[in-house]
Amino acid sequence: MEARELALKIVNDIEGKGAYANIVLSRELSRHRLTDQDRRFTTELVYGTTKAGGTLDWLLSHYSSRPLEKVNPTIRNILRIGMYQLFFLTKVPPSAACNEAVNLAKKFGHAGTVKFVNAVLRNAARSPEKATYPDPQDEPVRYLSLKYFHPEWLVTLWLERWGFAECEKLLRINNETPPLCLRTNTLKISREELLRRLETEGAKCEASNWTPEGIICVEHPALANLPSLKDGLMQVQDESSMLVSHVLAPQPGEFIIDACGAPGGKSTHIAALMNNRGRLLSTDLYDHKLKLTEENAKRLGITMLETQALDATTLHLRYAGQADRVLVDAPCSGLGVLRRKPDSRWRKNQAMLRDLPVLQLAILESAAECVKPDGILVYSTCTTEPEENEQVVEEFLRRHPGYSLEPVGSYLPGERKDRMLQLWPHVDGVDGFFIARMKRNK
């Protein structure tokens, strides 16, 4: 199947069945034998079209005589994919974008729809200036939302919080493709050796400055074609996510609980830092997700890890006062990692920022009861929102005077002095993560 037709099938599935872009994409790419170039093009079309969302419909409304909601969904997606190429993929000649869309319309529509697709796209290719963005001064929210493909509620919030310039930088970086980050499985190999191996496997990589085991992959073949992954020499994990286990600083022989552990990115890192010695319990609400933790642990050669399905708000009922350290990598809005999942911004809503902190605090309070005196509690999220981060920790500390904050800065490279750590994609170049470390004094 040709790249554009496969992209259309995937975009139809995402829209029609509510499927997740990354999951359908990797399933379909493994079913179809595409060249590396076509694989990249399909990915670009799928991620671009889903990410651009409402902007493509807004652009189309300048050229279509028919309201888009009245257009057959497949034809509408042919138009969206065509518009994405015309307006955002400068390397695709406009004639190719139009011709290929018309070919798809021939296959999935009838004579009338072929004419319609042809007219809309050729009109757009001829007069792109017909669609001008709103004025940023007069309508900053609409301008930023349309220009950078983010929902208006989120732009409104970030604009209020961070101001125009910062908000724009953050929105812009969320549309960039982040590099693939890998964590060396130090139980099996050193980073230097793995870097050499990856080179022989056709990947261009460099050492990360954030952690001693992190690797940034600038160019690489399909992940499934990297033997180092299959052989358990590494784990896909962002650099900021790796920092969390360093801040926890688990020691060999200790009892560690990872309260929201699946799919095991941090649990398996903790096991490596403990040299696979001691007791490590990785819990999660969902059994099926714990299976992924177990698969990861097996692939990485970790034998110390136990899993258990439970609601972390009840962790204290079984493990009160037993653990040396507990990690709460809480369920969160994920607003710090929008660049990793291009369709995810359209699945979020503002109610998350009201509801999630209640759950986050409940999990943190239960986890806190499981920590021994002098033990350590780490709270982390992959979001940038104060309600889910500082405010949860501050409320927790207010309710639990037996805990005190330990500055995170000393677990980071360089001279950072952060009390609690908030990492930003547009400032730090890594995923947006929050980390706080607390000590139980009594």
Q: Which residues participate in catalysis according to the annotation?
A: 382
Among 289, 340, 341, 439, indicate the residue that binds ligand SAM (CB under 6 A).
289
Site for ligand SAM contains 128 (CB under 6 A): no
Size of the site for ligand SAM (CB under 6 A): 16
Within 405-424, the residues that bind ligand SAM by CB under 6 A are none
- Closest of 38, 35, 36 to residue 6, by C-alpha: 38
Strands 255-258 and 279-284: parallel
Encoding tokens for residue 424?
A: 């930003």
* Least distance from ligand SAM to the Cβ atom of residue 41, Å: 30
Among 285, 304, 320, 405, indicate the residue that binds ligand SAM (CB under 6 A).
285
> Based on CB atoms, which residue is closest to ligand SAM, 218 or 309?
309
How far apart are the C-alpha atoms of 409 and 373, rounded to whole Å? 23
Query: Of 61-69, 145-153, 185-193, 263-271, which part binds ligand SAM (CB under 6 A)?
Result: 263-271
* Least distance from ligand SAM to the Cβ atom of residue 396, Å: 16
CB atoms within 10 A of CB 277: 13
* Least distance from ligand SAM to the Cβ atom of residue 387, Å: 16
284 is in an annotated binding site: yes
Among 182, 260, 305, 436, indicate the residue that binds ligand SAM (CB under 6 A).
260
Nearest-Å Rg of the Cα atoms of the chain is 24
How far apart are the C-alpha atoms of 284 and 289, rounded to whole Å? 7
374 to 393: interface string for ligand SAM, x by CB under 6 A: --------------------
How far apart are the C-alpha atoms of 434 and 408, rounded to whole Å? 10
Beta-ladder partners of 378: 327, 437
How far apart are the C-alpha atoms of 184 and 190, rounded to whole Å? 7
How far apart are the C-alpha atoms of 93 and 100, rounded to whole Å? 11
Query: Of 49-57, 184-192, 261-269, 273-281, which part binds ligand SAM (CB under 6 A)?
Result: 261-269
CA 217 to chain centre: 16
DSSP-assigned letter for residue 213: T
Site for ligand SAM contains 311 (CB under 6 A): yes
* Least distance from ligand SAM to the Cβ atom of residue 329, Å: 4
Kindly state the helix (H) or strand (E) to which residue 122 belongs, with its residue range. helix 111-126
How far apart are the C-alpha atoms of 436 and 329, rounded to whole Å? 10
CB atoms within 10 A of CB 231: 15
How far apart are the C-alpha atoms of 145 and 400, rounded to whole Å? 41
Site for ligand SAM contains 286 (CB under 6 A): yes
* Least distance from ligand SAM to the Cβ atom of residue 336, Å: 11
Query: Of 281-289, 346-354, 418-426, 428-436, which part binds ligand SAM (CB under 6 A)?
Result: 281-289
Site for ligand SAM contains 214 (CB under 6 A): no
* Least distance from ligand SAM to the Cβ atom of residue 380, Å: 8
Among 271, 302, 312, 377, indicate the residue that binds ligand SAM (CB under 6 A).
312
DSSP reduced 3-state for 93: coil
Site for ligand SAM contains 357 (CB under 6 A): no
Encoding tokens for residue 1?
A: 């199947």
Q: What is the 3-state secondary structure (H, E, C) of 31-77?
A: HCCCCHHHHHHHHHHHHHHHHHHHHHHHHHHCCCCCCHHHCCHHHHH
What is the signed CA dihedral for 239, 245, 247, 251, rounded to 10 degrees? -140
315 to 354: interface string for ligand SAM, x by CB under 6 A: --------------x-x-----------------------
Q: Please check whether residue 433 is in contact with residue 244, taking contact to mean a CB–CB distance below 8 angstroms.
A: yes
> Based on CB atoms, which residue is closest to ligand SAM, 215 or 378?
378
Query: Of 135-143, 190-198, 213-221, 254-262, which part binds ligand SAM (CB under 6 A)?
Result: 254-262
Site for ligand SAM contains 238 (CB under 6 A): no
> Based on CB atoms, which residue is closest to ligand SAM, 32 or 341?
341
329 is in an annotated binding site: yes
How far apart are the C-alpha atoms of 341 and 349, rounded to whole Å? 16
> Based on CB atoms, which residue is closest to ligand SAM, 43 or 245?
245
Distances (CA, A) of 279 to 71, 296, 325: 58, 17, 11
Within 52-111, the residues that bind ligand SAM by CB under 6 A are none
**Known binding-site positions for S-adenosyl-L-methionine:** 284, 311, 329
Annotated binding site: 284, 311, 329
Instruction: Provide the binding-site residues for ligand SAM, judged by CB under 6 A.
Output: 260-266, 284-286, 289, 311-313, 329, 331
